[in-house]
Chains A and B, each alone.
Chain A
C-alpha cells in the first residue's frame, strides 16, 4: 500500500468537498474492493474519504411495494432486513449470497454498485428490478447507470446516496458461483412487475451486466421456465476465461434463468 491521507467525512457534503480538494482522491465505504487493490499496489489514491460511517447514508425504508436502501448499508444489513425480506425477498437472498460473512458485514450496496464489477451480484438486481440509483446530484435509472466494465454513469466526485428498488410481483436470483472467487460466473435475476418481465445477467457479459430481450418477451407472455426452454443465448459478447468459456456461460444463462423463473413461481 502507498501512503495516503485519510478523511472521515462528517456529511455527504463534507465528503464531496474533501474529494474535490484532493489530488487524486477516492471515496471509501466498506473497503472490500478498494483496500485489496491498494494493498496489491494496483490503486494509489492520494486521499481516502470515508463515507462508511455516515448515518445519512445508512438504513432501509419501505417505499410503495419496494425499498430504498442507503448507499452505506452493508450486505448483511440488507440480507437481514425484514423490510427487504417481506417486500423483495429475492433481493435479501442475493445480498446474503455475496462473498463471506466478513465481506457482507463490511461491503456496502453503494460501493458494489459504484464499482460495477462485471461479476458482482447487485447490478443484476438493479437492472432486473428497474432500480434507481440516487446520488448527491441526481437520480439515474439502472438502465442508464451501468455503462461497461467497471464503468458507470457517475461523474467525477459524484456520490451515491441510495438505491431505490421498486417491488416486483415475482422475482428470483440464481447465481452460479465461480468456484474460486465465488463471485457470479453467471447470475440471472428475473423479475415480473406491472411493467413486464426483466431478465438481467451478471458475471457473463464482456461489458458487464446486461438484459436478455428474447427471454423477457417470452416470459412476458408466459412466466414459466418452459417458455424460455427454447430461447438460446448467443455466446457472442460473453466472457471467456480459465474458469468458463463463453459457450458454457451462454448455456448457464439458460439454466440459471429457468431455475430463477421456477424459484420465482415458488
Chain B
C-alpha cells in the first residue's frame, strides 16, 4: 500500500476549501439580474383556501411577480411526484393524492406552500409575502400516526379514503402462523420509531434561470442527485425537455436523504424564471427547513417473535403503521416497505416472517428517506425484540444471537433478500473483546455504588446498501433503475478526470474516488480530478444515497478504468512492438515481460492523443465510460455495543462506552470510513436520546420548530467511540466494497435503547429517552413494583 493507495487514511482533499470558507454552495452563487423568492406558507395544519388576495403584494415596492396555485394549475405544470408504486395486499395500486407545487383548494400541513412572491430584493419579497391575504377555512387536523385511520380522523385527500396510502404485506403469513403455533415462547413488543427532522448543515436553496435567447433553463440546487432531479422536473413535472434543462448541484452541505427529493421551491424557481425571464433565487431559512424538509422515520409497530425452548427463532410477525405526512414525497412509499421489511430477518436464520405495513396520510410534513431509510426502523424492531426475548428467556443476549446467526452464505431470507457474504460471529467476538464484556458486572457494581444505574445493549445489525439491481427494483415498483455511470477522461498529459453520477455532499468522494483511481492507474492522486454534480458535464447518474456511491458508483469507475487500461495496453503493445499478452501494467507503467522496455501511463496517453502511430482500427483518444448495474444489494453488517450510565435522580443518560465493529468489505480510506461511522452513530444516538419532532395534537403546529426545542446531538452527548473492522470482501461488485454511510445510524438506536432498558429493568422506553422520559419510566416502574 502506498501513502495514497487503496486502504490508506488519506486526508480529505476537499476539506481545505470547506474549512477555510472557500466552498461554493448554491447560496454563494449569484446570477446577474437575479430576483428573490419568498413563499407564503400555510399557518394551518388543514384548511380550505377560499380565496387569495394578492393585490397589495403586487403593488408593494420591488415586487416583480406573485404566483398562486391557480397560476401553476393554469400553466399546466404537473404536481410533485412519488416515484415508487407500491401495491396493496389485494394487488391494487396505492392511493396517492395530488401534490401541486402551490396548493389550490386546500392546505394539508403547517408549511404547505400557498403563494410565491418574487422581489428585487429578499427583503422586498418577504415584505410582499406578508401582504398576501389568504382566506382559510380551518378544518380539523390529525397529526397522529396511530389515529390516521380512525373514523373520526379528518379526510386529507379525496383520492385516499380513510387516509390510507396503502396496506402492504411481505412474507408468508401461513408459515408464520404455524411457527407461532409451534412456539414455546412468544415475545411481543410495541415500539415507536420517532419522527426526525433531517437538519443538514446547509439549508436547501435553488436558483432558477432562463435564457430567453436559447430557451435553456438552468437550475442550481442543493441536490444529492441532479440528474434524477432533472428527469423528474422534465419528464414528470413538465418544466422543459431534458436537453433544455441543466441542473447543477455544486458544493452541498449535507443531505442525509433530505436533498434527494424534488420539492416545490426549486420546481417553482425554474418555472417562474421562464415566466419572468429573470433568474430567481431562494434559500431556505432554518425555520422553513424544520417545516418543509422531508422528515424521517415515524413508525408505530407491534412485533412478535416466536421461539422454541432452546431459544431458536421460529417466526417473526410485524405490523407497522407508517406516517407519510400530508403528501407523498419523491421516494416516500418505498421507505417503509422495500427498504424496511426486507431487512427484518436481521443477522438471523428466521424461517418465517410476515410483515404488514399500513401507510397513512396525516397533517404533517411529508416523510421520506432519512439516513438509513427504513433500515434503522427494521434494525430497531429486530434488535429490540431479540434483546427483549433474551431477557424473557433468561438467556445472555449474546448467546441468543449466536444460536440464531446466519452462518452459511449465500443465505436467502423469507423477505426476498439474499445475503451474499458475511461473518456475524467474527464482528460480535471482536466487539465483545473491545467492549470488555466480561468486565461489565464490575463496572455495573461500581456505578451502583455511586448511585447510578448501568446498562449494556447490543445491536448486531445488517443492512442493504449499494442500491440497487435495476431490474429487481423495477419489479418492485421503482420508477427508475439504480445503476451508476462513470467516465474516465485521460488527458493527453496523462492526468485524469473522473466524471461520476455520484454526488458528494459530505462523503469525501473527491478524496476516495481520486485515491481509488490513482491507485488503479498507478498515477499520483493529485493527477486525478473528480467531476460531479452537473448534468452538462456528467452524462447521467443516479446520485448519492443508500450508501451506494462506493458499491455502485466506484464499481462503474472500476469498469471504466478496466476499459482504459485495456485500450492503453493494446496501444502500448503496438508502440513497443510487442504482443498484447506480454504487456504488464504495474505502478503506472506498461512494460514488456522479460525485457527492459516500458512506457509510462502518460506516454501512452500522449500517444493516444497525438495519434501518429495507432494500431490498425484503433480510434485516437483515451476516454472510457461504464454503466454499472449491481447484481445484488450489498450487506454491511456488524455489532454495536453501547453501555450507559443513568442518574436515577434526574433521569440523565450518559453513554459510558461505545464499541462498533463493522464489516464494510474492502475499505478504500479508513479515516473517511471512521468519520462516516462516527457521524452515523451521532445521528443514531440523537434519535435515541435527544431528537424528536413533535406536532401539537390539537393545532397541528410543529412544536419543535427550532433548535431551541428540537435537540440535536452535540459532542458532549457522545463518548469517544471504539471502532473495529472485520472484512468479508463483497462478491457482488468489482471493488469489494459494501458501503458505510448509514451503518452507524442504523445500528445505534437499538444499541442505546437496549442499554437504557437494561439499566432500568423495563421492557421499553420511548425514544428520545430524554431525562424527563427516563425519569418518568423510573417513576412508573417503581410504582408498579410497589403495587
How long is the Cα–Cα vector from A176 to B775 in the complex, in angstroms? 14
How long is the Cα–Cα vector from A41 to B771 in the complex, in angstroms? 33
| Contact status of A242 and B650, CB under 8 A, knowing A40-B287, A180-B690, A180-B710 | no
Chain B interface helix/strand/loop/mixed: loop
Chain A interface helix/strand/loop/mixed: loop
Q: How far is the CB of A58 from chain B (nearest CB, A)?
A: 29
| Contact status of A180 and B711, CB under 8 A, knowing A242-B694, A252-B650 | yes
Tell me if A64 counts as interface (CB < 8 A to partner B): no
Contact with A along B648-683 (1 / 0, CB 8 A): 011100000000000000000000000000000000
Tell me if B707 counts as interface (CB < 8 A to partner A): yes
Tell me if A155 counts as interface (CB < 8 A to partner B): no
Which A residues from 215 to 266 make CB contacts under 8 A with B?
Answer: 242-245, 248, 251-252, 255
Tell me if B704 counts as interface (CB < 8 A to partner A): yes
Tell me if B776 counts as interface (CB < 8 A to partner A): yes
Contact with A along B735-771 (1 / 0, CB 8 A): 0000000000000000000000000000000000011
Tell me if B709 counts as interface (CB < 8 A to partner A): yes
Q: How far is the CB of B599 from chain A (nearest CB, A)?
A: 58
Contact with A along B691-713 (1 / 0, CB 8 A): 00010000000011001111110
From A40, which residue of chain B is reached at the shortest CB distance?
A: B287
Q: How far is the CB of B418 from chain A (nearest CB, A)?
A: 42
Tell me if B772 counts as interface (CB < 8 A to partner A): yes
Contact pick for A243, options B126, B650, B770, CB 8 Å: B770
How long is the Cα–Cα vector from A181 to B704 in the complex, in angstroms? 11
Q: Which residues of B contact A244 (CB under 8 A)?
A: 771-772
Contact A180 B707 (CB under 8 A): yes
Contact A180 B708 (CB under 8 A): yes
From B130, which residue of chain A is reached at the shortest CB distance?
A: A41
Q: How far is the CB of B131 from chain A (nearest CB, A)?
A: 13
| Contact status of A248 and B776, CB under 8 A, knowing A40-B287, A242-B704 | yes
Tell me if A194 counts as interface (CB < 8 A to partner B): no
Q: How far is the CB of A184 from chain B (nearest CB, A)?
A: 13
Q: How far is the CB of A192 from chain B (nearest CB, A)?
A: 23
How long is the Cα–Cα vector from A105 to B776 in the complex, in angstroms? 37
Contact B775 A243 (CB under 8 A): no
How long is the Cα–Cα vector from A83 to B306 in the complex, in angstroms? 68
Contact A181 B707 (CB under 8 A): yes
Contact B709 A251 (CB under 8 A): no
Contact pick for B775, options A2, A242, A248, CB 8 Å: A248
Contact pick for B771, options A40, A179, A181, CB 8 Å: A179
Contact pick for A242, options B123, B651, B709, CB 8 Å: B709
Contact B708 A181 (CB under 8 A): yes
Contact B650 A180 (CB under 8 A): no
Contact with B along A30-43 (1 / 0, CB 8 A): 00000000001100
B contact residues, range: 20 to 34
Q: Which residues of A contact B770 (CB under 8 A)?
A: 179, 243
Q: Which residues of B contact A179 (CB under 8 A)?
A: 690, 711, 770-771
Contact B650 A255 (CB under 8 A): yes
Contact pick for B709, options A3, A41, A176, A180, CB 8 Å: A180
A contact residues, range: 10 to 19
From B707, which residue of chain A is reached at the shortest CB distance?
A: A180
Contact with A along B8-48 (1 / 0, CB 8 A): 00000000000000000000000000000000000000000
From A258, which residue of chain B is reached at the shortest CB distance?
A: B649
Q: Which residues of A contact B287 (CB under 8 A)?
A: 40
Contact B690 A255 (CB under 8 A): no
Contact A242 B703 (CB under 8 A): yes
How long is the Cα–Cα vector from A40 to B770 in the complex, in angstroms? 28
How long is the Cα–Cα vector from A40 to B703 in the complex, in angstroms? 16
Q: How far is the CB of A101 from chain B (nearest CB, A)?
A: 13
Contact A245 B710 (CB under 8 A): no
Q: How far is the CB of B774 from chain A (nearest CB, A)?
A: 10
Which B residues from 87 to 138 make CB contacts under 8 A with A?
Answer: 123, 126-127
How long is the Cα–Cα vector from A3 to B708 in the complex, in angstroms? 26
Q: How far is the CB of B336 from chain A (nearest CB, A)?
A: 25
How long is the Cα–Cα vector from A51 to B307 in the complex, in angstroms? 71
Which A residues from 168 to 188 make CB contacts under 8 A with B?
Answer: 176, 179-181
Q: How far is the CB of B294 from chain A (nearest CB, A)?
A: 21
From A186, which residue of chain B is reached at the shortest CB distance?
A: B650
Contact pick for B772, options A3, A40, A245, A255, CB 8 Å: A245
Q: How far is the CB of A39 from chain B (nearest CB, A)?
A: 9
Q: Which residues of A contact B123 (CB under 8 A)?
A: 1, 3
Q: How far is the CB of A123 from chain B (nearest CB, A)?
A: 18
How long is the Cα–Cα vector from A92 to B690 in the complex, in angstroms? 29
Q: Which residues of B contact A245 (CB under 8 A)?
A: 772, 776
Contact pick for A176, options B650, B694, B703, B712, CB 8 Å: B650
Q: Which residues of B contact A251 (CB under 8 A)?
A: 775
From B652, which residue of chain A is reached at the shortest CB distance?
A: A176
Q: Which residues of B contact A41 (CB under 8 A)?
A: 126
Q: How far is the CB of B644 from chain A (nearest CB, A)?
A: 15
Contact with A along B163-182 (1 / 0, CB 8 A): 00000000000000000000
Contact with A along B364-397 (1 / 0, CB 8 A): 0000000000000000000000000000000000
Q: Which residues of B contact A176 (CB under 8 A)?
A: 650, 771
Q: Which residues of A contact B708 (CB under 8 A)?
A: 180-181
From A251, which residue of chain B is reached at the shortest CB distance?
A: B775
Q: How far is the CB of B778 from chain A (nearest CB, A)?
A: 11
Q: Which residues of B contact A255 (CB under 8 A)?
A: 649-650
Contact B772 A248 (CB under 8 A): yes
Q: How far is the CB of A11 from chain B (nearest CB, A)?
A: 32
Q: Which residues of B contact A242 (CB under 8 A)?
A: 694, 703-704, 709
How long is the Cα–Cα vector from A180 to B126 in the complex, in angstroms? 29
Q: Which residues of A contact B711 (CB under 8 A)?
A: 179-180
From B703, which residue of chain A is reached at the shortest CB distance?
A: A242
Contact with B along A1-15 (1 / 0, CB 8 A): 111000000000000
Q: How far is the CB of A41 from chain B (nearest CB, A)?
A: 8
From A255, which residue of chain B is reached at the shortest CB distance?
A: B649
How long is the Cα–Cα vector from A244 to B776 in the complex, in angstroms? 10
Q: Which residues of A contact B775 (CB under 8 A)?
A: 248, 251
Contact A243 B772 (CB under 8 A): yes
From A248, which residue of chain B is reached at the shortest CB distance?
A: B772
Q: How far is the CB of B714 from chain A (nearest CB, A)?
A: 9
Q: Which residues of A contact B776 (CB under 8 A)?
A: 245, 248
From B692, which residue of chain A is reached at the shortest CB distance?
A: A242
How long is the Cα–Cα vector from A215 to B544 in the complex, in angstroms? 59
How long is the Cα–Cα vector from A180 to B711 in the complex, in angstroms? 4
Q: Which residues of B contact A243 (CB under 8 A)?
A: 709, 770, 772
From A243, which residue of chain B is reached at the shortest CB distance?
A: B772
How long is the Cα–Cα vector from A3 to B67 in the complex, in angstroms? 25
Q: How far is the CB of A27 from chain B (nearest CB, A)?
A: 23
How long is the Cα–Cα vector from A159 to B771 in the complex, in angstroms? 39
Q: How far is the CB of B769 from chain A (nearest CB, A)?
A: 11
Which B residues from 493 to 518 make CB contacts under 8 A with A?
Answer: none
Q: Which residues of A contact B703 (CB under 8 A)?
A: 242
How long is the Cα–Cα vector from A242 to B694 in the complex, in angstroms? 8
Q: How far is the CB of A88 from chain B (nearest CB, A)?
A: 26
Q: How far is the CB of A117 from chain B (nearest CB, A)?
A: 11
Which A residues from 132 to 182 make CB contacts under 8 A with B?
Answer: 176, 179-181
Q: Which residues of B contact A3 (CB under 8 A)?
A: 123
Q: How far is the CB of A28 from chain B (nearest CB, A)?
A: 20
How long is the Cα–Cα vector from A144 to B311 in the complex, in angstroms? 68
How long is the Cα–Cα vector from A101 to B299 in the complex, in angstroms? 38
Q: How far is the CB of B755 from chain A (nearest CB, A)?
A: 18
How long is the Cα–Cα vector from A111 to B775 in the complex, in angstroms? 34
Q: Which residues of A contact B694 (CB under 8 A)?
A: 242
How long is the Cα–Cα vector from A242 to B772 in the complex, in angstroms? 9
Interchain Cβ contacts under 8 Å between A and B, 13 examples: A1-B123, A176-B771, A179-B770, A180-B690, A180-B709, A180-B710, A180-B712, A181-B707, A243-B709, A243-B770, A244-B771, A248-B776, A251-B775
Q: What 7 A-B pairs have minimum CB-CB distances, sorted nearest first?
A: A180-B711, A181-B708, A244-B772, A179-B711, A255-B649, A248-B772, A242-B694
With A179-B711, A180-B709, A255-B650 given, name 4 new contacts (CB 8 A): A2-B127, A180-B711, A252-B650, A255-B649
